[in-house]
Amino acid sequence: MANRMWGGVFGVAPDEILEEINASIGFDRKLYAEDIAGSKAHAAMLAKQGIISAQDARKIARGLDTILSEIKRSKFKFSRALEDIHTHVEARLKDLIGPAAGRLHTARSRNDQVATDFKLYVRNAIDATDAALAELQKALAKKAARYAATVMPGFTHLQTAQPVTFGHHLLAYVEMISRDRGRFADARKRLNESPLGAAALAGTSFPIDRYRTAKALGFDRPAANSLDAVSDRDFVLETLSAASITAVHLSRLSEEIVVWASPSFGLVKLSDRFTTGSSIMPQKRNPDAAELVRAKTGRVIGALVQFFVVMKGLPLAYSKDMQEDKESTFDALATLSLVLAAMTSMVRDLSPDVARMKAAASEGYSTATDLADHLVQKLGIPFRESHEISGKIVAKASKAGIPLEKMPLKEMQAVDPRIPKSVLSVLSVDRSVESRKSYGGTAPKNVRREAEKWLKRLGK
């Protein structure tokens, strides 16, 4: 930091270890586009307000455009001697246009500048994440429509519970992702206040127009309190919270894919594009993509926890601790982008083993609840009584080693002579799912309707 740009008060250069711990250019260079956009908006406003000349504002804008082009074309030289992206841009601007570059920092601070840059970056990341989530929803909804009537076992405690359809199961994740998108949208709405012009912490005595810069940068309004504007990192915590919940949902689906694709279950297959082999066992087909999506959840959640710890003890306003907001956030959002792309591709790729799904749905006496419900409807008995009768029939069938739908009527009537012959019509897994017509239920008609509704909403 020999070229410290605000070091008039200092008599000696900083220690090397301070330079090392202070430098952020290794990661905050990602903010170059946002930093340049904020600077252009600030310079244009300064000229409009008569704080700097129109001529200097034009020089600044042209210089910033040149820097943007240089960085995009990998022609820009980065150096650890200049600690961050803001210093790099300002130093290069001075090289390009001379003393006029020094006017750009009028009526702003690094504090409001970095907060603005990071808000712009996170806002862009939210928009990209929302688009990726919509693509995953679309992939799930398309597969749900195709397999709306494909019967599979539904599980609780990972034990066979009741038959559901594969389409219904996939639509559960469409609903989860809808909530994820809602959380990101909420975070975006709250972050969309501009810190620019709050300066270091107290505002500025220059007659700036913060509404103008807010509008130029796509913010809804300027942040109302200068202290809060520069010290707020709620938008990072909210976004990482939404990202963490999303990552958990993806991990749950990954876990199901791993389980379903195992030979012991055999419910789905992934193609060679999403499986790998073993270095020693020739027969292996490992669902590595799903396993890595599951594992990378830890990186996203870890970023949230790390930044909670950074923020928990900070007094107002800005502290250098806040530099630790970026590196892990960049990693978490990039990780989420990667796993979303991987999951969307896997969903498109996986294919259910329809016959095995149906066979598995028939195991474990999964239609016992249908038996109990039928007795309530036909005999008018309390559900708890029908539950006990059905349990005794299941125990009898299990002891005989026969499925419930193959249980002779006389054997069931031996448990309770009131059991009607009509019970034999409700014990198949197909009949079970068809009967679940209540709103939100697994009946194929419900699933098709919901899938089509989602696809229409998502633009197919």
Segment 294-344, tens digit of pLDDT = 999 999 999 999 999 999 999 998 898 888 899 999 999 999 999 999 999
Residue 5 above 60 pLDDT?
no
Q: Amino acid letter at 158?
A: L
C-beta of residue 132 within 8 angstroms of C-beta of residue 102:
no
Say which residue, 6 or 160, is predicted with more confidence: 160
Query: Tokens 């074309």 belong to which residue?
Result: 73
Predicted pLDDT of residue 447? 98
Residue 81 above 90 pLDDT?
no
Predicted pLDDT of residue 9? 62
C-beta of residue 458 within 8 angstroms of C-beta of residue 402:
no
Active-site residue set: 157, 278
In angstroms, the Cα distances linking 336 to 189, 208, 245, 331, 352 are 20, 38, 11, 9, 26
Span 393-398, average pLDDT: 94
C-beta of residue 62 within 8 angstroms of C-beta of residue 69:
no
Across the chain, what does the average pLDDT equal? 93
- Give per-residue pLDDT as tens, 177-234: 999 999 999 999 999 999 999 999 999 999 999 999 999 999 999 999 999 999 999 9
> Which has the closest alpha carbon to 96: 72, 71, 61?
61
> Which has the closest alpha carbon to 38: 49, 46, 50, 27?
46
> Which has the closest alpha carbon to 37: 123, 129, 130?
123
Predicted pLDDT of residue 282? 76
Strand 193-194 versus strand 159-165 pairing type:
unpaired
